[in-house]
Each structure stands twice: as structure tokens, then as C-alpha cells.
Amino acid sequence: MKNRIYLDNNATTPTDPRVVETMVPYFFEKHGNAASRSHPYGWEAEEAVDYARENIAKLINANPKEIIFTSGATEGDNLALKGVFEMYSRKGNHIITATTEHKAVLDTCKKIEKMGGEVTYLEVDDKGLINLDELRAAIKDNTILVSIMYANNETGVIQPMKEISKICAEKGVLFFSDATQAVGKIPVDVVDLGIHIMAFTSHKMYGPKGIGALYVRRKRPRVKVTAQIDGGGHERGMRSGTLNVPAIVGFGKAAEIARLDMEEDTKRIMALRDKLENGLMQMEETYINGTTDSRMPHVTNISFKHVEGEGLMMTFNQTIAVSSGSACTSASLEPSYVLKALGLGDDLAHSSIRFSLGRFTTEEEVDRTVEMLTKGVQHMRDLSPIWEMYKEGVDLDSVEWTEH
Ligand SMILES: *Cc1c(COP(=O)(O)O)cnc(C)c1O
């Protein structure tokens, strides 16, 4: 346990102890329902929710009234996409997204297609970026929404948010972004960026799991989404259900810490990421996936040619927690659809590892990771007949492979 190294912060972050501390009273003496209007238990809970909402709004430069609590980003993505599809059905039924989106967006879009919607999936270039001219050309009279994620969970690639929002504003369509991997780690300003709807989640920013938020703009333009969970009319009628007060309190604290510590945290984490990346790139036939010009500061996704990512992970015997492909699809051994969308072949996609650092990553852990990975890759390549052929200068493209 003590020797373990956690470099899978894009899957989930550990909860910050300061967050847990603020949550505890809301399980015990302050256990009220925030919707109870007739006694101090309810008032106390409501006050705590208000304070959290303010902190979360402040982190993204929103108004607290524009924050709708959800169970996480998956629900936020569903509420945004299905909610807009229903609410704006008279205006049109066409949604534009990209092939490298999270499954929570892609699977929801597939469902919307079954419900009579029309979805365009934009491709990305070898850097992982969408093409703005293609986006502009894809917008039609019946287009109601553009859904492009802020930062990719597998590669950390950041899409040109401001340029996308400009195009959406010109054409009069709504702009939704799944900003789960960006919020709390880099400055995100919904006003400056011109984002209309935005989903994010607490457990990717050192808060508890099972709580998230959907930002829904109230002015210029006033945006509405049709509720996907009906009930007591909570959250301005857009998401019913008793609020998870302890989780919301924790989420609020996580947002406050993120805002206050972001600059320093980012500087330190980025230096560690760069150290890790530079260390690993010393090995030959090693490639960074996605652009390094527009990328999250804590992520690097690297392919070690002729090494199976899954096999490589076994060489360090569960000491280092990283991800090959995306955690959400790692139950299957399909190569990552995100990396394939960047144009990687099956071999390079299979040989990729995502390293995502975080607030609690230490330099000593980075050094140990470089050391263990270097040994692991060397070991795997020593055992590999393909690597041997490559070293002997065999043209691997001319070799006929047999299935096994
Ligand atoms: C983690 C993640 C999600 C899912 O968030 P949950 O809160 O776990 O539902 C959605 N989108 C992206 C980009 C993510 O990284």
C-alpha cells in the first residue's frame, strides 16, 4: 500500500482531507434536508448548500443560480444533451459533437439518434483537435447544439473553446461543453469563453464521488433544459430529488481549494509531469499522443512502440496505477477509440499508457515511475521477437502476420 503510486487522477482523484473534514458534520448534527423550510435543521442545510453553490459558481465565473446539482458529469452530459434536445425540439433536432468525446456524451447522442435526433460526429486531426471550418460547415438550419469537450480525458488535449463559442454565437446555436477534466485544474470562465451549458464533477477535483454540477446560463441567452428526473421541482425544476448535502458541502470546499491553490498546484504538477515525460521520452520509439501545445498540465499519454500496454502494466506488478486506454472501456481490450481517432494504428494504440498526476503526486514517485517504466519497457522489448526484427532493420510493414 505504502509503495503504491497513484497516477490515474483522470479516472478519479483522492478526496482532499480538508474536504472530508468539512463534510463530516453534515452526516451527524447537521443532517437536515435542505428543502425543509420549517426548522433549523433544514435552514442549516440550505445555508450550507448555498455557500457551496457560491464557491462552485465562483470557480467558473458563473452566478450561483446557474448551478444545477447532479450526481456527476455523466448525468450532467445526459441532462444537457437530452434536455436541450427536448426543450428546443421546435427549433430543430440536429446536434454536432466529436468522435473523441467521453462515452457519456457519445452514448447519449446515440440514444438521441434513436429518439429521432440527427447527430454529426466531427473527426479530429492527428493532434486531437477538431477543425473549425468543418464545425462551421456542419451547422445547419436545424442545428440546436454543439457539444465539444473542454479537455480530453485520455490525452489531456484542450479544444479551442473560444473559437468554437464564437462560431456558435455567429450561427445562433447553443454551445455545451463537458469540462470535467478542466474545471478545478485550469482557469475556466464561462462568460469569457461564451459557454452556454457546461458539465463537471466533484470527484475529478479532489471532492467526493457522486456529485456534480451542470452550469446552465440564465442571461444572453437564457438557456433552459428539460428535466430528465422529475419530482419535487428542486434545482429550478431542472433536476428533482433531495440534495446530497454532505457531498455538496464537500464539492463546494473542493471548488474553494481549487480556486485558491490552482496557480501553485498547477505549476508544481506541471513540472512533475514534464519531468516524468522527459524521463520516459529518453527511450527510443516512444511517442506522445495528442498535441503538446494545447494540453492539460497534469497529463501525458505515451505510446511505447512494440510494447503491449497491458503487459507493461503487469511488469510493475500493480505498484503504479496508470491507465491503458480509458478506464471506462478498459473492461474490454479494444484499443482506445480516442487514440484511433487521432490516427494511431492498433499497435501504437495498444502500446499506450496514460499518466495523470495530481495534487498529491511527489517527485520521488515520478522518479520511481521513470525507473520502473524504463526497466519494464526494456524487459518487454527484450522478450519481443518484433522488437528484435525491428533492431535488425527488418521492414516490419513487409512481414505477413498470422492471427493468434
Ligand atoms: C469522468 C468523466 C465523466 C464522468 O463523470 P462522472 O462524474 O464519473 O459521471 C464524463 N466526462 C469526462 C470527460 C470525464 O472525464
For the Cβ of 155 lying below 6 angstroms from any atom of ligand 1, the answer is no
Q: Indicate which residue of 87, 321, 328, 372 is catalytic.
A: 328
Contact 347, 306 (CB under 8 A): yes
- 251 plus 277 within the same structural domain: no
- 271 plus 129 within the same structural domain: no
- 128 plus 230 within the same structural domain: yes
- 163 plus 104 within the same structural domain: yes
Q: Which of 257, 289, 320 is the last residue of a domain?
A: 257
Residue-wise pLDDT for 167-201, tens only, equals 999 999 999 999 999 999 999 999 999 999 999 99
Given ligand 1 and candidates 79, 204, 205, which is best to mutate, with the most ligand atoms within 8 Å of its CB? 204
For the Cβ of 128 lying below 6 angstroms from any atom of ligand 1, the answer is no
- 332 plus 240 within the same structural domain: no
Q: How far is CA 70 from CA 100, 173, 214, 215, 367, in A?
A: 23, 24, 7, 10, 39
Assigned domain for 315 exists: yes
Assigned domain for 78 exists: yes
Q: What is the pTM of this model?
A: 0.95
- 234 plus 108 within the same structural domain: yes
Residue-wise pLDDT for 7-66, tens only, equals 999 999 999 999 999 999 999 999 999 999 999 999 999 999 999 999 999 999 999 999
- Which DSSP state fits 343? T
Catalytic residue status for 328: yes
Residue 329's domain comprises: 5-10+262-391
Q: Which of 257, 281, 315 is the last residue of a domain?
A: 257
Assigned domain for 169 exists: yes
- 383 plus 276 within the same structural domain: yes
- 218 plus 317 within the same structural domain: no
For the Cβ of 149 lying below 6 angstroms from any atom of ligand 1, the answer is yes
Please tell me the total count of domains within the chain. 2
- Please tell me the distance from the alpha carbon of residue 225 to that of residue 316, in angstroms, as a whole number: 47
Ligand 1 atom nearest the C-alpha of 202 is 7
- 123 plus 198 within the same structural domain: yes
> 332 exposed, middle or buried (CB, 10 Å; 0-12, 13-18, 19+)?
exposed
- 291 plus 386 within the same structural domain: yes
Nearest to 69 by CA among 253, 226, 216, 232: 216
- 51 plus 179 within the same structural domain: yes
Distance 104 CA to ligand 1 centre (A): 7
Assigned domain for 403 exists: no
Distance 183 CA to ligand 1 centre (A): 12
- Please tell me the distance from the alpha carbon of residue 163 to that of residue 214, in angstroms, as a whole number: 22
- 182 plus 298 within the same structural domain: no
Residue 243 amino acid letter: L
Name the residue at shortest CA distance from atom 3 of ligand 1.
73
Given ligand 1 and candidates 102, 251, 296, 329, which is best to mutate, with the most ligand atoms within 8 Å of its CB? 102
**pLDDT of the chain, 404 residues: tens digit per residue:** 568 999 999 999 999 999 999 999 999 999 999 999 999 999 999 999 999 999 999 999 999 999 999 999 999 999 999 999 999 999 999 999 999 999 999 999 999 999 999 999 999 999 999 999 999 999 999 999 999 999 999 999 999 999 999 999 999 999 999 999 999 999 999 999 999 999 999 999 999 999 999 999 999 999 999 999 999 999 999 999 999 999 999 999 999 999 999 999 999 999 999 999 999 999 999 999 999 999 999 999 999 999 988 888 888 878 999 998 644 444 557 899 999 999 999 889 999 999 999 999 999 999 999 999 999 999 999 988 888 888 888 887 777 766 55
Tell me what pLDDT residue 331 has: 55
Assigned domain for 401 exists: no
CATH number of the domain where residue 25 is located = 3.40.640.10
